[in-house]
Amino acid sequence: MRYLSGDEEKTALEHICNAVVIAQNATCERSKCGAVIVQGDEVIGQGYNSPPGDYESQRRCSCSKASYHKKVTDKTCCIHAEQRAIMDALRNNPEKVAGSRLYFIRLDTDGNVLKAGKPYCTICSKMALDVGVAEFVLWHEEGVCVYGTEEYNRLSFEFGDGCGYGRCV
Ligand SMILES: [Zn+2]
Ligand SMILES: [Zn+2]
C-alpha cells in the first residue's frame, strides 16, 4: 500500500467524488456506498449497494447478522457497491477490467463522506482479485491509499488480527 500525493492524489479524489455521487443512489438502510472502476482515465464500471436485483422482497437490511447460521458466510444484507461495479465493468467493458483500479467510498446517513478503516470485505477482495482488478483505493484519515489487490485480499482476511485470526497456519 502507498499513500498518494500531488497530481496522483488529485486525480484519485476526482474519481472518489464520482463514487460519492454514485453512492447517493444506494438504497441499503445500513450504509450508502459507491464504487468506480477506472482503466487509464476511463470509468469502466460503477455501482452502489442495494438489495440483489433491487428486489424489495430480498431486502435484509434490518436482519441481525447474529441471527444467521455459521454456515451462512455472507451475512451482509445488500449487493456491495464494489461487486456491482465489478459486474458492471465485466458486462460493459470486459476487455478493460484487467489492470484496472477500483475506488470505494462510504457515506453516512446524511450523505457525508466517511473515511475508511482497514479493509475487511473478503467478498469483494476475492472477487476483485479473481477478475484482474489490479488496485483498490480507500480514503483513510491519513490520506488516499492505493493497495495492490493481492495485498488487499490478504489484509482483508487478516482484519483484526492479533490472535491469529486470518492466518492460515
Ligand atoms: Zn442493506
Ligand atoms: Zn464488499
pLDDT digits (tens, 9 = 90+) for 12-42: 999 999 999 999 999 999 999 999 999 999 9
Q: Which ligand is nearest to the CA of 76?
A: 1
pLDDT tens digits along 63-80: 999 999 999 999 999 999
Q: What is the percent of the chain with per-residue pLDDT over 70, rounded to a whole number?
A: 95
Residue 31 CA to ligand 1 centre (angstroms): 7
Angle between helices 81-92 and 6-23 (to 10 degrees): 100
The pLDDT assigned to 168 comes to 64
Residue 34 CA to ligand 1 centre (angstroms): 13
Residue 82 CA to ligand 2 centre (angstroms): 6
pLDDT tens digits along 80-122: 999 999 999 999 999 999 999 999 999 998 889 999 999 999 9
Domains of the chain by start residue, with CATH = 2-57+75-157 (3.40.140.10)
Residue 23 CA to ligand 2 centre (angstroms): 14
Instruction: Please answer whether residues 78 and 51 qualify as being in contact, where contact means their C-beta atoms are separated by less than 8 angstroms.
Output: yes
3-state SS string for the chain:
CEECCHHHHHHHHHHHHHHHHHHCCCCCCCCEEEEEEEECCEEEEEEECECHHHCHHHCCCCCCHHHCCCCCCCCCCCECHHHHHHHHHHHHCHHHCCCCEEEEEEECCCCCEECCCCCCCHHHHHHHHHHCCCEEEEEECCEEEEEEHHHHHHHHHCCCCCCCCCCCC
**Model pTM score:** 0.94
Residues lying with their CB under 5 A of ligand 2, a single-atom ion: 80, 121, 123-124
**What's the grid cell of residue 79?**
449487493
Which whole number is the average pLDDT over 52-64?
Answer: 95
Residue 79 CA to ligand 2 centre (angstroms): 8
The pLDDT assigned to 109 comes to 82
Q: Which ligand is nearest to the CA of 82?
A: 2
Q: What angle do CA 23, 25, 31 make, to 5 degrees?
A: 55
